[in-house]
Structure 1
Amino acid sequence: MHLIAIDWGTSSLRGALLDGKGHVLEERSHPRGILTVPPGGFSALFEELFGDWMRPTGSFCLISGMAGSKQGWVEVPYCPCPSGRVEVGNAIVEIEPGRIAIVPGMSDMHDGVPDVMRGEEVQIFGAMALAGLSDGLFVLPGTHNKWVTVKRGRVTGFRTFMTGEFYALLSQHSILARTLDAQAPLDEVAFLEGVTQADNGQGLLHNAFGARTLALFDRMPAGELASYLSGLLIGEELRTQSIHAGDLVLIGSPALTQRYLLALEISGNTARTLGAEATWAGLHALAAIHLSNKARS
């Protein structure tokens, strides 16, 4: 199998050329998320960015992420929880038969309110394969963070937290933007102070205002305030979780997983971390299921 694996998000996309065993031969990334693609322009952009990878006979591309959303290339229905690799693999939709297909994403329901993810399910299946796990709690930090429960190889449920987006809104578009430096590097002491403060029982709406008053009273410089605010938000997210001893896996960029590891250590929890390799492993596993189904049909 000559597999082109692509994670196509809202603001960017990345791709990997994989051999038959799932080894990465080459990687590419572009700032061409789905929101930058004009109507009807996905096929042409795909050929522009990855056409050379698709030339060898038998090449097959599997795409995950927002390319399967209403605003994407083709809308692909969600797989409801509980679902595992087989159910998701069986629901893959080909948009160019035998050549290009899209992973469906997953949905869950909480008290009548739906929750969804596109792309994270692939990372979870890849992480399960790489870590040799069939049970565990998988945490995917990002703009919209996911906390995903897996039992016996199937995603039984998940919840989304808009932590990353709230950080961007508060640090760039609220009164806090006037006194903090959102581009400052992580200050671990200030970050952990924010994580601790989030557990005071007063709630984020109150605690966030402290990021302003600490500046007003010269208690914390602008470079540290961004880390403090990040700690408040991640601490608030962690405060709502029920974390038990066992397998906890963080999947994401090193910059984000580092912050969650620091916050988890306060409560005596540890986690293993994975990055982009989880996406490629997940797409490789799902492609194998899809192509096997085609060979039998």
Structure 2
Amino acid sequence: MGPVLIALDWGTSSLRGFLMEAGGSVLEQRGSPHGITNLPEPGTAGFDAAFEALCGPWLERWPGLPVVAGGMVGSAQGWRKAPYAECPADARQLAAAAVPVEARRGTRILIAPGVVSRPAGAAPDVIRGEEIQIAGALLLHPELATGSHFLMPGTHSKWAEVREGRITGFRTYMTGELFAVLSRHSLLGRLMTEAAAEPDMAQAAFARGVAMARAAQPGELAHHLFAARTLGLTGELPGAALKDFLSGLLIGHEVLGGLGAAGAGDVPLVLIGEEELCRRYAGVLRTFGRTPDRLLGNTAPPGLFHFATAAGLLAPPQEASR
């Protein structure tokens, strides 16, 4: 079957394009380093040039294909800002809040919004890109729509709740960014070496950090962080293993907080993201007594397909197959 959609997962550091057929499968995939912070030239022209370089050959062969995009391309630093849809949100709300931008060649690109959560008595929280991943997971696994929790680890890890097919709330944990800042730009990093620890030593140091977090009392993270220095000063851990300890400590504290906010395990817990990172989080979750129900890879392509269908750019897969 021929292509019916070009879907763009446009993040901070990279751009990925997917040529998709009517059933939602990816026919061809292309990648580019031209994320929104690494464009071939500044401003709008840079977005246009990155889009043309990636998708021009597809559009030359199949002119008129609809194009959708999700991720940071819709942020304030993106091609065009797509204001956040309000929580609770599903693919229909995302489609209703989407904004178009026109490329130099005349192609109209529909940009998905992020989602904002405004819990009573707490600061607002936002996601941008993860809402598309969740939409993709629900398209692939409709049984998760009734009720589920999604964990998407990364620089800014997201823990989201879905009820009746809608994102009802989420929390952001700056775990990856904290690790980068503390290991590179703080006192803690001075004893850490560039050389990696031996696998067994690294695993033991990581597990030690997780165990410290698991035994934590409320508010102890700032105190525990100093152990990433004192364990090196006293010789209990070599410099090569201190990063592993810090990683385990930060992920452990994230999981402690995330599971506490998610409550009892009465609905599936699903991991979405890069395989190795998800496996690491899955191991930490098991340490805390919670085994994830599914580990999913990149669900952005089906999520963008779901978004395009909700926006009326495509017929639903069951209708397209008739």
Q: Kindly state the Cα deviation for residue 217 of structure 1 after the two structures are TM-superposed.
A: 1.4
Partners of 2:314 and 2:32 lie apart in 1 by 32
8 Å CA contact 1:172, 1:182 repeated in 2: no
- Cross-structure match for 2:320: none
Match of 1:50 in 2: 55
Of the structure 1 ranges 149-158 and 219-228, higher mean CA displacement relative to structure 2 is found in: 219-228
What is the alpha-carbon distance in structure 2 between the residues aligned to residue 125 and residue 182 of structure 1? 39
Q: For residues 180 and 115 of structure 2, what CA distance do their matches in structure 1 show?
A: 26
Query: For residues 77-116 of structure 1, what are the structure 2 equivalents within 5 Å?
Result: 77-96=83-102, 99-110=108-119, 111=121, 113-116=123-126
1:282 equivalent among 303, 317, 321: 303
Q: CA deviation at 1:259?
A: 1.7
Residue 18 of structure 1: CA displacement?
1.3
Residue 270 in structure 1 maps to residue 276 in structure 2: no
- Which residue does 2:131 correspond to in 1? 121
Partner of 2:186: 174
Kindly provide the amino acid, as one letter, of the partner of residue 225 in structure 1: L
Against the structure 1 CA distance between its residues 151 and 226, is the aligned structure 2 distance closer, same or farther, given a 3 Å change threshold?
same
Conserved 8 A contact 2:17-2:54: no
Number of positions where the alignment pairs a residue of Structure 1 with one of Structure 2: 294
| Structure 1: tracts of 5 or more residues without a match | none
Amino acid at match of 2:264: H
Give 3-state SS (helix, strand or coil) of 1:50's partner: helix
Q: What's the CA shift for 1:43?
A: 1.3
Partner of 2:153: 141
2:205 is the alignment partner of 1:190: yes
Q: Give the TM-score taking structure 1 as reference length.
A: 0.92
Letter of the 1:121 partner, please give it. E
TM superposition outliers: structure 1 runs of 4+ over 6 Å: none
**Structure 1 CA distance, aligned partners of 2:56 and 2:107?**
15
Question: 1:205 maps to which residue?
Answer: 222
Separation of aligned partners in 2, 1:17 and 1:293: 14
Using structure 2 for the length normalisation, give the TM-score: 0.85
**Whole-Å Cα distance in 2 between the matches of residues 182 and 49 of structure 1?**
36
Asked if 2 retains the 8 angstrom alpha-carbon contact of 1:108 and 1:115, the reply is yes
Unaligned residue ranges in structure 2 (runs of 5+): 316-322
Distance across 1 between alignment mates of 2:314 and 2:93: 12
Matches within 5 A, 1:34-49: 34-37=36-39, 38-41=42-45, 42-49=47-54
**Can you list the C-alpha shifts for 1:93-126, whole angstroms capped at 9, x where unaligned?**
2213863110011101143522111100000011
Q: Structure 2: how far apart are the matches of 1:184 and 1:252?
A: 24
> Aligned residue for 2:7?
5
Contact 1:170 1:177 in 2 (8 A): yes
